[in-house]
Chains A and B, each alone.
Chain A
Amino acid sequence: MDAGKAIFELLTTNTTVRRLCGTRVFPGVMAKEVAMPAIVYTLLYNTDSATKDGPSLLDMPVYQISIFTSAAPTGPNGEAPNDVAKLLREAVRYTLERVSGTIAGVQLQSASHIDQRDLFDEEAKAFHLSDDYQFRIIRSNLNAQGFSPYQYTTAAQLAGATVDEQAMKCVTNKLKQ
């Protein structure tokens, strides 16, 4: 389950975020020569909840949400650049924190804000406000996404395999489709 899809959906549909940065929300890297402010979200790491029963049914990925604002332009109401960035940071936090539900197909149990930093990108002459969020993503509907072992792998292939091995075979077969 890609929490990034949920982040994109949430940020591009929130009216305050849209007012401040439109739909300039990018996974991993900002598009070239894009207007600012803009948001980039990047997966930092993931902690899973594997048990002896089998693979993790609940992942806890941590995403860095970076807000870039140019040092030059002002906001829609004449705000200073850094103030625009901070307004956007609050809007993003308001949008993401403790959100739950199925968003863009991702079963999101919760999200929490865990860290933040103020940076300045000297080369791009841009303010860079960086916030980290941890998401709790339910993975128990993997079957619904077509990862069912019974759909893509014969029972004979799975005979004797551990739960982990079965899951790996399912993913492998899914990728072959």
Chain B
Amino acid sequence: MATVGKMNASRVKALIAGKLFVHSTNVSVRLSAQRVAKTTKDSQGYLSQRPGIKSGTVTIRGLLDFSIAPTSTTDANVRELEGYQFNRTILPLRVNFGGIAGDKYLESNARMTGYRVTGGTEDNLEVEATFQLTGQIQWLTQ
């Protein structure tokens, strides 16, 4: 049974290549669809839109933890991301919304296109990674 009632966003979690991104504080998904502007004999000079490219990005923010070893089979954190940045790897990315049977999740392949580490004085060290989805973006049911 899917999650009942309004969703607690703490349960929205990202999995990179099957590993949970731990210590995340924010996961956001942005999907967009371009439109091609056309005009036809029928539209009499008015805009007539045609579907264009569909795309999406996923941004993950979290607290940095170097103690998560890249060899961990369950957890991912900054050291995983370093590898994806420099290897330009295409990886399977999944975002769980709820995480229990019946809830939706988004799945696609992705490339990491942005990586930022912010370290203020006497503050938590934060990491932000942006993934550009590539190929089909699927909404599936857990």
Residues in A lying within 8 Å of B, measured CB to CB: 49-53, 58, 110, 112, 134, 136, 162, 164
Evaluate contact between B27 and A52: CB separation under 8 angstroms. Answer: yes
Evaluate contact between A52 and B11: CB separation under 8 angstroms. Answer: yes
Q: A58-B124, A112-B122, A136-B122 are in contact. Are A52 and B10 (CB under 8 A)?
A: yes
Evaluate contact between A51 and B63: CB separation under 8 angstroms. Answer: yes
Contact of A51 (CB < 8 Å), options: B12, B62, B121:
B62
A114-B31 Cα distance, complex, nearest whole Å: 41
**Shortest CB distance A136–B (Å):** 7
Count of residues in B whose CB is under 8 Å from the partner chain: 14
Instruction: Let me know if B109 is at the binding interface, CB within 8 A.
Output: no
**Shortest CB distance B51–A (Å):** 35
Evaluate contact between A49 and B63: CB separation under 8 angstroms. Answer: yes
Instruction: Let me know if B111 is at the binding interface, CB within 8 A.
Output: no
Evaluate contact between A52 and B122: CB separation under 8 angstroms. Answer: no
Q: A51-B23, A52-B12, A52-B24 are in contact. Are A112 and B124 (CB under 8 A)?
A: no
A16-B122 Cα distance, complex, nearest whole Å: 26
Give the residues in chain A near B63, CB-CB below 8 Å: 49, 51
Residue pairs across A and B with Cβ atoms less than 8 A apart, 10 shown, are A50-B25, A51-B24, A51-B25, A51-B62, A51-B63, A52-B24, A52-B25, A52-B27, A58-B124, A112-B121
Give the residues in chain A near B122, CB-CB below 8 Å: 110, 112, 134, 136
**Shortest CB distance B118–A (Å):** 14
A110-B121 Cα distance, complex, nearest whole Å: 11
7 closest A-B pairs by beta carbon, nearest first, are A112-B122, A51-B23, A52-B24, A52-B10, A51-B25, A52-B13, A53-B22
A134-B122 Cα distance, complex, nearest whole Å: 9
Evaluate contact between B22 and A49: CB separation under 8 angstroms. Answer: no
**Shortest CB distance B96–A (Å):** 10
A112-B123 Cα distance, complex, nearest whole Å: 10
A94-B122 Cα distance, complex, nearest whole Å: 17
Which A residue's beta carbon lies closest to that of B20?
A53
Which A residue's beta carbon lies closest to that of B126?
A49
Give the residues in chain A near B124, CB-CB below 8 Å: 49, 58
Which B residue's beta carbon lies closest to that of A160?
B100
Q: Mark B3-39, 1 if CB is under 8 A from A, else 0.
A: 0000000111100000000111101000000000000
**Of A50, A53, A136, A162, most B-chain CB atoms within 10 Å:** A53
**Of A52, A110, A112, A136, most B-chain CB atoms within 10 Å:** A52
Give the residues in chain A near B24, CB-CB below 8 Å: 51-53
